[in-house]
Amino acid sequence: MTAYLFEPTAPSTIPVFGSDKLFPVNRIFCVGRNYEAHAAEMGTVIDREAPFYFTKSPTTLIMAEGEIAYAPRTDNYHYEMELVFALNSGGTNITEADALSHIFGAAAGIDMTRRDMQNKAKETRRPWDTSKDVEQSAVVTPLRQMAEVPSLGTGRIHLEQNGETKQDADLSQMVWSVPEIIADLSTMYTLQQGDLIYMGTPAGVGAVQRGDVLTGGVDGIADFTVKIA
Ligand code: MN
């Protein structure tokens, strides 16, 4: 019998509202440019036919509570408020009609981003990994189980920085809906239970400073308060 050389890292987990069970996270997929107004503020135009993605490691997860660290190697660390959902089953070539049946629940999240590093990567046509796959950058609230989620297609999504509203939009403004994203992603990946998807951010992204307090949420799903340490 062989044994591990060292104890493997335990899976990242997310608490579930109304349950004592933890959701173990498998992978984290993130949708790029899913709101027209955010694409415009980033100087781009959305290609309606082609959603695109990047990933974060599950080890980048951090709960949206208490303090989160200001990342090293950036002077322009941005918040991106997002709807997040979690799968309890998966597959390939999932149809839009079947897509919602694979969802365990939803959460509010922030996709923290080294914007200076990302802009440099765009200029030099290099990967986004180090600008997006940042420790403590996949900020997430506990999961609201689907039976209690009012909608993944409409509802207010918002973020405030030190009490000042910075992002305020509606899920209906997403270019690609949750079922469309599941259907599309499942043509490239065998989606699995434990996978988490960040649905992209509305307009109004901006830089945080140490000591900032971020509040936000998605109506009917979750609200949060975090401080940047
Ligand atoms: Mn994002």
Q: Using one digit for the tens of pLDDT, what is the confidence trace for 90-144?
A: 999 999 999 999 999 999 999 999 999 999 999 999 999 999 999 999 999 999 9
Q: What is the spatial distance between Cα 228 and Cα 207, in angstroms, rounded to a whole number?
A: 11
Q: What is the pLDDT, as a whole number, of residue 218?
A: 98
Q: What is the spatial distance between Cα 68 and Cα 1, in angstroms, rounded to a whole number?
A: 41
> CB–CB of 13/24 below 8 Å?
yes
**Domain tally for the chain?**
1
Q: What is the spatial distance between Cα 177 and Cα 175, in angstroms, rounded to a whole number?
A: 7
- Look at residue 4 and tell me if it is in a domain: no
Over 90: is that where the pLDDT of 38 sits?
no
Rounded distance from Cα 189 to ligand 1 centre (Å): 20
Which has the minimum average pLDDT: 30-39, 63-72, 191-200, 215-224? 30-39
Nearest 5°: phi and psi at 95? -80, 155
- Look at residue 8 and tell me if it is in a domain: no
Over 90: is that where the pLDDT of 49 sits?
no
- Look at residue 166 and tell me if it is in a domain: yes
- Look at residue 3 and tell me if it is in a domain: no
Over 90: is that where the pLDDT of 219 sits?
yes
CATH code: domain of residue 46? 3.90.850.10
DSSP-derived secondary structure letter, 76: -
Domain containing residue 123: 13-221
- Look at residue 133 and tell me if it is in a domain: yes
Q: What is the pLDDT, as a whole number, of residue 47?
A: 73
Rounded distance from Cα 25 to ligand 1 centre (Å): 18
Rounded distance from Cα 113 to ligand 1 centre (Å): 8
- Look at residue 229 and tell me if it is in a domain: no
Rounded distance from Cα 173 to ligand 1 centre (Å): 15
- Look at residue 104 and tell me if it is in a domain: yes
Sign of the four-CA dihedral 39, 142, 153, 129: positive
Rounded distance from Cα 5 to ligand 1 centre (Å): 36
Rounded distance from Cα 202 to ligand 1 centre (Å): 9
- Look at residue 228 and tell me if it is in a domain: no
What pTM was estimated for this model as a whole? Answer: 0.97
Rounded distance from Cα 218 to ligand 1 centre (Å): 15
